[in-house]
Amino acid sequence: MSLLVVGTVAFDSVATPHGRVERVLGGSATYFSFAASFFTPVRLVSVVGEDFPDEFMAALRQRRVDLAGLARVPGRTFSWCGSYEGTMNEARTLDVQLNVYGDFSPALPEAFRDSRYVFLANGSPDSQMRVLEQVREPRLVVADTMNLWIERTPDGLRKLLERIDALVLNEGEARMLSGEPNLIAAGERILAFGPRAVIVKKGEHGSLLFSRDGGRCALPAFPVARVVDPTGAGDSFAGGMMGFLARNDLNDAAALRRAMVFGTVMSSFVVEDFSLAPFQRIGEAEIWSRYHDFIRFITV
């Protein structure tokens, strides 16, 4: 089934204990699209500037990503600069330049409005809502968010939560949004705000699912002994998860559990190297092999 993502396509500059890269391909919609593309074709809506190189466009196209919704406008592309240290559990943002993304009001091409599976990558709740209004009959809408929106636009976020099926957010954000330091209480509370499901991403500690119809579920992260760059892990998780759901046209809580396994697998690949490099090396065989390893890893 059709899978739509709206988010950033960006230049990333990243420093980690394993090295550094400058102005490589990044952005939430990019990571999501690459991860999901192994399961189903992806429609991407975003904006880049005139400085966005053709080779990056080609890299996205090579993964069958439909770029009809990727506007290229005068100005410079969104860019992010960050670093990771120690346990690498949290990025330190050194610089963000919104550039052309600052004025971006996502407009869906007519051909994208029938999308059935929709991922609203991190963005203002207002702009996420505007995307939602352009999709005719979505079967599953999942949104990401961040501390910025939890603090600045709590009302908009609460309104959005009543309109979406599932929210994905990280551990710290879940505690902040709910006001609950206990993560289980936090997840339950956010569930009460409206969505059918809440997925809490915990980096190296895996993920938690809270759902109205299917109870709760926990998954560890896939054991990666050498994390080179955690950038994009969360969006790749969402990409693997929603790619699996869209491919199999599923949206129930039981399917969400299984989908999270594929999210876990895809995010485990992406952290093994900088930018999208891991996704340019793997194929179905590597994904299934790691899937089976993971099932063994969680079986008691």
Cα dihedral 63, 64, 69, 72 sign? positive
Name the minimum Å distance from CB 102 to a copy of itself.
35
Q: Which of 133, 155, 225, 284 binds a copy of itself (CB under 8 A)?
A: 225
Q: Which is nearer to a copy of itself, 107 or 254 (CB)?
A: 254
Q: Is 35 within 8 Å of 266 (Cβ atoms)?
A: yes
Cα dihedral 139, 294, 37, 40 sign? negative
Q: Which is nearer to a copy of itself, 257 or 290 (CB)?
A: 257
| Count, residues near a copy of itself per rule CB under 8 A | 38
Contact string 81-120 vs a copy of itself (x = CB under 8 A): -----xxx--------------------------------
Name the minimum Å distance from CB 139 to a copy of itself.
21
Per residue, the 3-state secondary structure of 2-39, as one string, reads CEEEECCCEEEEEEECCEEEEEEEECHHHHHHHHHCCC
Bridge-based pairing of strands 215-219 and 207-211 is antiparallel
Could you say which DSSP state residue 162 is in? T
User: For 121, how many CA atoms within 13 A lie in the half-sphere containing its CB?
Assistant: 26
Q: Which is nearer to a copy of itself, 105 or 299 (CB)?
A: 299
Beta bridge partners, 25, equal 11
Residue 79 parent element (H or E):
strand 79-83
Q: Which of 204, 252, 272, 286 binds a copy of itself (CB under 8 A)?
A: 204
Label residue 275 left, alpha or beta by phi (over 0 means left) and psi (-120 to 50 means alpha).
left
Q: Which is nearer to a copy of itself, 59 or 219 (CB)?
A: 219
Residues 5-24 that bind a copy of itself (CB under 8 A): 17
Q: Which of 4, 60, 190, 261 binds a copy of itself (CB under 8 A)?
A: 261
Burial 169-186 (b: 16+ CB within 10 A, else e): bbbbbbbbbbebeebeeb
- Sheet of 92-97, strand order: 19-26, 10-16, 79-83, 92-97
- DSSP three-state, residue 246: helix
Residue 120 sits at the vertex; the CA angle it makes with 114 and 92, to the nearest 5 degrees, is 160
Residues 174-203 that bind a copy of itself (CB under 8 A): 175, 181-185, 188, 202
The reply on whether position 250 binds a copy of itself by CB under 8 A is: no
Q: Segment contacting a copy of itself (CB under 8 A): 4-12, 39-47, 110-118, 214-222?
A: 214-222
Q: Segment contacting a copy of itself (CB under 8 A): 7-15, 61-69, 148-156, 253-261?
A: 253-261
Q: Which of 1, 132, 220, 252 binds a copy of itself (CB under 8 A)?
A: 220
The reply on whether position 272 binds a copy of itself by CB under 8 A is: no
Query: Residue 164 is which amino acid?
Result: I
Residues 25-64 that bind a copy of itself (CB under 8 A): none
Q: Which of 223, 249, 280, 292 binds a copy of itself (CB under 8 A)?
A: 223
Q: Which of 130, 159, 163, 216 binds a copy of itself (CB under 8 A)?
A: 216
**Residues making contact with a copy of itself (CB under 8 A):** 17, 86-88, 175, 181-185, 188, 202, 204-206, 208, 215-221, 223-227, 257-258, 260-261, 295-300
